[in-house]
Amino acid sequence: MSQTHPLDGILVIDFTHVLAGPACAYYLGLLGAEVIKVESSWKGDAIRHRGGTDANAAANAMSTSYLAQGAGKSSLALDLESEDGLATLHDLLAQADVLVENHLPQTMKRLGLDEDTLAARHPHLIHCAMTGYGRGGPQENAPAYDVNIQASCGLMDATGTKESGPIRTGAPVLDYGTAMAASFAISAALVERAKTGRGNFVDVSMLETGLSLMSSTVTDYLYTGNAPQRRGNLANSRSPGAGSFPCKEGVISLGVNEEAHFKELAAAMGRLDWLKDERFSENAARKAHASELTDEITRGLAAKTAHEWEPILQEAGVPSARLRSLPEALASDQVQTRGFVQTTDDGVQVPTLPFRLGGAKAYTPTRAAPRLGADNDAIKNRLKR
């Protein structure tokens, strides 16, 4: 099927650093936007020099954390503390459709790049500002990384077990969640500009992104007053058949939340007698005898490996999945078939978008992640024309 690039013709200036901001611009580029990454001439994006497990790549300013969302962009190195550097940036903004940045408001104000100044000078521009806490409030200028926001929003406190204490998620989910939220907001702003002809200011908060990712938990607390408790691998549904269970080898995750799911589980495991057992025949009874049902399920699953159980349970209609490592997940037939991992023209494998439009194939970056200032001459020559 043909590829569709809905953002073809859109010029994005990527004045971001680390993970969330660069990822947002990367996603826009995958959808067809031209992305010019503006970096400091003396160092570039700080993430070039750290992150990932390959020390040599980081030492060469091409860390794997940078490569993860650096592809498909041009790199322009500027000294924004100089008049010439700022003038060049404003020349670019005059042509651009979108500015994505994730600097502190006070930093943007000092550079004369705050939202009010840019709106007056470039009224067509969609200015997306991504910060830890959003505009307004006492923490407006507080610096923040993913780990800080996981702590701040309650996600870390809700993760783990009573014995373990709070645990950060194993990946920077708040960075990438914020990147997705910003991309969504920018797309909405582009639709609005097509109607009004005017740009807009997009204020994206990592803290509020974290709270949004916990929406059902937030609503439950606001409605009941019950703060979330660490439940380990038990599902939030609190259904006795939902959670992680050991098998003969490996672990299987079950999401048995509905009556139909329990019947399908009983059939798949050869335990139709559960449906006649007074302890398990109805949902209320299963909750009252949750520990007994958990023991029964655990004993039954011990007969086979998680690898064997997964197709049996999924084909029976039971929401289930075996516990996989990241290497196993990436090597799975499902991920391979969908083409989620794409290869840039320098042979680096990177994640692409988690959705397809109109049956399009997986989106592929147009070029490899650039070295610092790789496109200075080409971009400055373009501005002279």
Residue by residue, DSSP assigns 71-116 as TTEEEEEE-TTSHHHHHHHHHHHHH-SEEEE---HHHHHHTT-SHH
Residues of the chain with CATH 3.40.50.10540: 11-213+340-384
DSSP conformation letters of 271-297: -GGGGT-TTTSSHHHHHHTHHHHHHHH
Asked if 13 contacts 96 with a C-beta cutoff of 8 angstroms, the reply is yes
> Tokens standing for 21?
């901001």
Q: Report how far residue 268's alpha carbon sits from residue 260's, in angstroms, rounded to the nearest whole number.
A: 12
Mention the CATH class of domain 11-213+340-384: alpha beta
> Tokens standing for 178?
């914020």
What pLDDT score was predicted for residue 1?
Answer: 42
Identity of the amino acid at 187: S
**Digits of tens for pLDDT over the chain (385 positions)?**
456 899 999 999 999 999 999 999 999 999 999 999 999 999 999 999 998 999 999 999 999 999 999 999 999 999 999 999 999 999 999 999 999 999 999 999 999 999 999 999 999 999 999 999 999 999 999 999 999 999 999 999 999 999 999 999 999 999 999 999 999 999 999 999 999 999 999 999 999 999 999 999 999 999 999 999 998 887 777 788 899 999 999 999 999 999 999 999 999 999 999 999 999 999 999 999 999 999 999 999 999 999 999 999 999 999 999 999 999 999 999 999 999 999 999 999 999 999 999 888 889 999 999 999 999 999 999 998 6
User: Residue written as tokens 């398990």?
Assistant: 280
57: phi then psi, degrees, rounded to nearest 5: -60, -45
Q: What is the pTM of this model?
A: 0.95
> Tokens standing for 35?
């992305």
Q: Alpha helix locations (H) across 164-213?
A: 173-196, 206-212
First to last CA, the chain: 37
According to CATH, what is the number of the domain 241-331?
3.30.1540.10
Asked if 15 contacts 92 with a C-beta cutoff of 8 angstroms, the reply is no
Asked if 209 contacts 178 with a C-beta cutoff of 8 angstroms, the reply is yes
What pLDDT score was predicted for residue 231?
Answer: 87
